[in-house]
Chains A and B, each alone.
Chain A
Amino acid sequence: MNRLRDFFTNPWGKARFLWVVGIGYVLWTLLPVVNAVLMSFNSTKSISVWAGFSWRWWFTDPNESILHDPNLRHALYQSVMLAGLTTLIAVPIGVAFALATDRWRSRPASAANTLMMVSFITPELILAVGLFLLFVNALKVIGLGTTAQLLGLILIAIAYPVVIVRARLLSMGPEYEQAAADLGAPPLTVLRRITLPLLRPAIFAGAAIVFAFTLDDFVIVNQLALDQPNTTVSMYIYGAARTSPTPAANAIGSLALFASMIIITFAFLAYRRSTRGMKDEAQNAQSVLGV
């Protein structure tokens, strides 16, 4: 008992108990997913009993593989298209918003910022239901469907670039911009030549996070979908998992997983490269990108 207590509380002792907790946690969160990815290469229809390796659910099955099933292909297209458009629209809006509320210290700016933070922590179901009722009962011109899905995704995505860019504005300090202003650069030139280049890593990180998050979103896209063509990858997996999932669901989930991983890794490396030599930025990259 004494030893157990020591493991838990002594910051200098060899915390074997805590190592068990740490490794156990990682195995518990990741092993099931590793298993699910492996099962996408199963040679039978089962997602629980391994029967041998095959590319059946990825490429070779003429009807049910990702490559050949039109529903799966379309779900993939819908997910990537929505995530891409969301990134293209939400990131510029968010970056402009972060810059403006950081510089323009005023009552309307802080009110807008509070609104942004409230929308950020509002549970997704509330946002989804609100938008659903809006598009069904009030803005009937838009209605449900891809446009509604896109508008909803932008709403949940917009705060990420805001938070990240504001953190970066805070960490980079006013010195470079002041130096440029002292040397005679007009404010708009400072913004274009100094501020935006310095913000580039944060903008990049924000874009990667928005893409990865919206690619996996379920609640918003499911609530605002109208019919079959609006099905995304997450909706496909949800539908399949509730009935009789085949390894094709695992395969398309794995594909989305690989896409997210590649984008996040890429963004992390780019962030590190473009902030090389700057102190605290490694820490910042960790907190910003989650790696």
Chain B
Amino acid sequence: MARAKARRSASRDGAGTPRWLWPSLAAPGTAYLLILFLVPLYVILAVTFGKLDPILQTPLPVWNPLQWKTGVMSFTVSNLVHSDGLYFAAFIRTIVYVAISTSLCLLIGYPFAYFVSRHAGRAKALFLVLFFAPFWISYMLRMLAWISLLQDDGYVNRILMSLGLISHPYPFLAGKSLTLILGLTYGYVPYMVLPLYAALDRIPQSQLEASRDLGASPTRTFFRVTLPQSRQAILAGVIIAGLPMFGDYFTQQLLANTNGTRMIGNFVVEALSSSLLMSRGASLILMMMLMMLAPVIYYLRSTSRAATVRPAR
């Protein structure tokens, strides 16, 4: 009995396991992340603050921070913040597009998540399957689908014309901000719904009943019970859907390919294709990372706080 007890406690705190086992199982994944995640982030710094090869005109990364040159970075920063700067218009545009699209995602996603978690009834499983389908459909196919619908002779224009709303086909694909915003909303809305659904589905029915039994009106129940418990999820949705939009360049290329709709991501990818401009691309990505740092840290801290509330095993 005593031996069994000792063995059990040993197996629980892992003392019976060979000491090398867990570290060696964690090693490949950790090494992979160190080499192909952390090192590349450092390479972005080393190229941004590095030099140009005098003959080949290719970037020469400088590994020692003490020898870093800030020329490219100050160029980028001044072109981002001054109203006549190279990146200023695209920077503002990116923020506006992402803000509108993320808001639209929330406006569309919240009622949908609410519906599936509360009202779908027996059709809930079906709605979940249909909701998750876009995750398994290539983004490019989903965008191609809209290119097909939004052509001059596509279904959208034909329907609008047969309803008499417009007399000539509207050139949706000729570099319209509207098309790009709707495309981004369409592309990223499932990422908004995901955390919202998870949070709304977790609110116990008994709390809603209690709120009603205590005399709260439906509106009051929504604002005092449902909404506060989904605040965390709204934040998560805004982060999960909004951050990737900041780095999106392909939606613009597919749906609204003109200079007037270019986003920061387009400048990054374009700069990387020329070795002379590569360090500018690196510095733009670095700026993007710095801007994302605050929301990401906030998000990680709030999720780890939420995780500690859950019962530990």
Residues of A participating in the B interface, judged by any CB pair closer than 8 Å: 5-6, 8-11, 13, 15, 18-19, 21-22, 25-26, 28-30, 32-33, 35-36, 39, 46-49, 93-94, 96-97, 99-101, 103-104, 108-109, 112, 114-119, 121-127, 129-134, 136-138, 151-152, 154-155, 158, 162, 170, 173-174, 177-178, 181-182, 184, 186-188, 190, 212, 215-216, 218-219, 223, 233-234, 237-238, 240-242, 245, 249-250, 253-254, 256-257, 260-261, 264, 286-287, 290-291
| Contact present for A181 and B148 (CB under 8 Å) | no
Question: CA–CA, A286 to B126, complex, Å?
Answer: 12
Q: B residues within 8 A CB of A136?
A: 278
Given that A97-B30, A104-B14, A290-B135 are contacting pairs, would A241 and B143 also be in contact in the complex, using a CB cutoff of 8 Å?
yes
Report the minimal beta-carbon distance from B102 to chain A, rounded to whole angstroms: 14
- Residue pairs across A and B with CB atoms within 8 Å: the count is 322
| Contact present for B198 and A93 (CB under 8 Å) | no
Question: CA–CA, A238 to B139, complex, Å?
Answer: 10
Number of residues from B at the complex interface, CB < 8 A: 109
10 pairs of residues in contact across A and B, judged by CB atoms under 8 Å = A11-B118, A29-B134, A32-B145, A104-B22, A121-B296, A158-B29, A188-B21, A190-B11, A257-B136, A290-B135
Given that A29-B190, A47-B148, A241-B143 are contacting pairs, would A97 and B25 also be in contact in the complex, using a CB cutoff of 8 Å?
yes
| Contact present for A286 and B128 (CB under 8 Å) | yes
One digit per residue, 1 when the CB lies within 8 angstroms of any chain A CB and 0 when it does not, for chain B 278-313 equals: 100110010011001000100110000000000001
- Residue of B8, B29, B243, B272 near A123 (CB, 8 A) is B243
Residue B257 interfacial (CB < 8 Å): yes
Interface-forming stretch among B69-77, B79-87, B88-96, B246-254? B246-254
| Contact present for A127 and B296 (CB under 8 Å) | no
Question: CA–CA, A181 to B272, complex, Å?
Answer: 56
Report the minimal beta-carbon distance from B88 to chain A, rounded to whole angstroms: 20
Q: A residues within 8 A CB of B14?
A: 103-104, 187
One digit per residue, 1 when the CB lies within 8 angstroms of any chain A CB and 0 when it does not, for chain B 6-31 equals: 01101110101110011101101110
| Contact present for A216 and B139 (CB under 8 Å) | yes
Q: Name, among B120, B257, B299, the residue most crowded by chain A CB atoms within 10 Å (CB to CB).
A: B120
- Residue of A121, A123, A287 near B300 (CB, 8 A) is A121
Question: CA–CA, A40 to B39, complex, Å?
Answer: 43
Residues of B participating in the A interface, judged by any CB pair closer than 8 Å: 4, 7-8, 10-12, 14, 16-18, 21-23, 25-26, 28-30, 32-34, 36-41, 43-44, 46-47, 58-61, 108, 111-112, 114-116, 118-120, 127-149, 151, 153-155, 186, 189-190, 198, 205, 208, 217-219, 221-222, 239-240, 243-244, 246-250, 253-254, 257, 265, 268-269, 272, 278, 281-282, 285, 288-289, 292, 296, 299-300, 313
| Contact present for B25 and A100 (CB under 8 Å) | yes
Question: CA–CA, A21 to B11, complex, Å?
Answer: 52
| Contact present for B149 and A112 (CB under 8 Å) | no
- Residue of B12, B140, B289 near A126 (CB, 8 A) is B289
